[in-house]
């Protein structure tokens, strides 16, 4: 029997590793201020056996950035995730999943 392992919490782990105080943008802000942590968290999950990665893009919404005073296109933050997962994926067989509802909300607000 084959066993497929999904990674664990991304956002909460990013918050823990950043040592930043929680904000309305929590893990989104970590991606802005500490993008290297994204790669570290994904790498650690793959190192311990995960073969499926979920992105940390579900909290990344344009209206949240705008409301909190960040003049930043969310596609730049998606690129942070894509970059690290491409790097990880080139080293091993893996799969990446993103919430369909989350992606729909982002695309409908962004384009």
CA torsion sign for 8, 92, 99, 24 is positive
Please state whether the predicted TM-score (pTM) of the whole model is above 0.75: no
Residue 2, in any domain of the structure: no
Number of domains in the chain: 1
Q: Which residue is listed with tokens 């705008």? A: 66
If you count DSSP H runs as helices and E runs as strands, how many of each does the chain have, helices first? Answer: 6, 2
* CA 19 to centroid of chain Cα atoms: 17
Q: Which residue is listed with tokens 């311990």? A: 48
Mean pLDDT of 59-70: 86
Residue 4, in any domain of the structure: no
More confident: 97 or 69: 69
Structural domain containing residue 96: 11-110
Residue 5, in any domain of the structure: no
Residue 100, in any domain of the structure: yes
Q: How far apart are the first and last CA of the chain?
A: 43
Question: Could you read off the pLDDT of 5-38 as tens digits, one per residue?
Answer: 777 888 888 888 888 888 888 778 888 888 888 8
- Over its C-alpha atoms, the chain yields an Rg (Å, rounded) of 14
Could you count the other beta carbons within 10 Å of the beta carbon of residue 50? 20
DSSP H/E element including 80? helix 74-91
pLDDT for res 48: 87
Residue 54, in any domain of the structure: yes
Query: What is the C-alpha separation between 50 and 55, in angstroms, rounded?
Result: 13
DSSP state of 17: H
Residue 87, in any domain of the structure: yes
């Amino acid at each position: 029997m084959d066993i497929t392992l999904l990674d664990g919490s991304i956002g909460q782990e990013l918050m823990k590793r950043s040592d930043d105080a929680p904000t309305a943008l929590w893990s989104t802000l970590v991606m802005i201020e500490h993008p290297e942590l994204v790669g570290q968290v994904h790498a650690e999950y793959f190192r311990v056996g995960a073969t499926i990665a979920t992105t940390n893009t579900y909290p990344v919404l344009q209206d949240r950035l705008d409301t909190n005073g960040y003049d930043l296109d969310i596609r730049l933050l998606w690129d942070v995730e894509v970059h690290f997962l491409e790097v990880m994926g080139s080293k091993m067989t893996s799969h990446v999943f993103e919430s369909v509802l989350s992606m729909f909300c982002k695309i409908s607000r962004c384009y």
